[in-house]
Each structure stands twice: as structure tokens, then as C-alpha cells.
Amino acid sequence: MSEEHVKDYLCIDKTFAQTIFDALPDDEELYYLADLFKIFADPTRIKILYVLMKGEMCVCDIALLLHMSQSSISHQLRVLKQSRLVKFRRNGKTIFYSLSDHHVKTMLSQGLEHIAE
């Protein structure tokens, strides 16, 4: 942050402004974060993630629970997999899906808490 840019701030101390500026993630990180939040913008994907919070499931079980076709669930699972929000394991011909890690569950839980307030 340039010296003349910092003195443009009227309401905050210039040292504080510099501290904030220095702590900002770089543009690439912010781009990836925005992409992550876009994934959460689809209600079907949220439902799938919520179901997977309860445990590992195959496509057919998720489809039955959500009253949707297996192909639409598979499509959304592909998006979630590419975003590293879900992982999978194969057992014979069946593929089981689960949340990638505890961060996904935390994001969903905190989102639900936030809208409940």
C-alpha cells in the first residue's frame, strides 16, 4: 500500500490500515474462495452435502432420500468432487460418497446456525 493511499483514510489510523492491507489474502486465494462459495449457491448441492453430513452414501440412496434422479445427483456429486467437498470410495460396483473433511461439515453447520439467528 502506498504512503499517499494510506493517508487517504479519514476514519482509521494509517498503521491499522497498513495492517489490514498486509493481512489481505492475495487475489488468487480470494478467487478460489469465491468459487467455493459459488458451489454452495445451489440448493441441490446443499441438500446432498447435508445428507452426507449424516454419513457415507451411494448415489441411489441419495437420490431416493432427495426424491431426485440418479443422473441429477451424479451430476451434482461430480461438481462437489471437483471442488474437493466430497470424496468417494469404491466397494465392488458401488461408489460411496462422504464429506471430504471436517471443514465441510463446519461450513454447513455454521451456515445453518447463521440463518437460524
Each residue's pLDDT expressed in tens, for the chain with a length of 117 residues: 555 555 565 677 778 888 888 899 999 999 999 999 999 999 999 999 999 999 999 999 999 999 999 999 999 999 999 999 999 999 999 999 999 999 999 999 999 999 998
Residue at 9 is within a domain? no
Residue at 35 is within a domain? no
Domain count, the chain: 1
CB 67 within 8 Å of CB 55: no
Question: Smallest Cα–Cα separation from 46: which of 87, 86, 82?
Answer: 86
Phi and psi at residue 54, in whole multiples of 5°? -80, -20
Phi and psi at residue 67, in whole multiples of 5°? 55, 50
Residue at 90 is within a domain? yes
Q: Domain containing 92: what range? A: 43-115
Whole-model pTM: value is: 0.81
Residue at 10 is within a domain? no
Residue at 23 is within a domain? no
Question: Smallest Cα–Cα separation from 74: which of 102, 35, 40, 44?
Answer: 44
CATH assignment of the domain containing 85: 1.10.10.10
In angstroms, rounded to a whole number, what is the distance separating the alpha carbons of residues 12 and 15?
A: 9
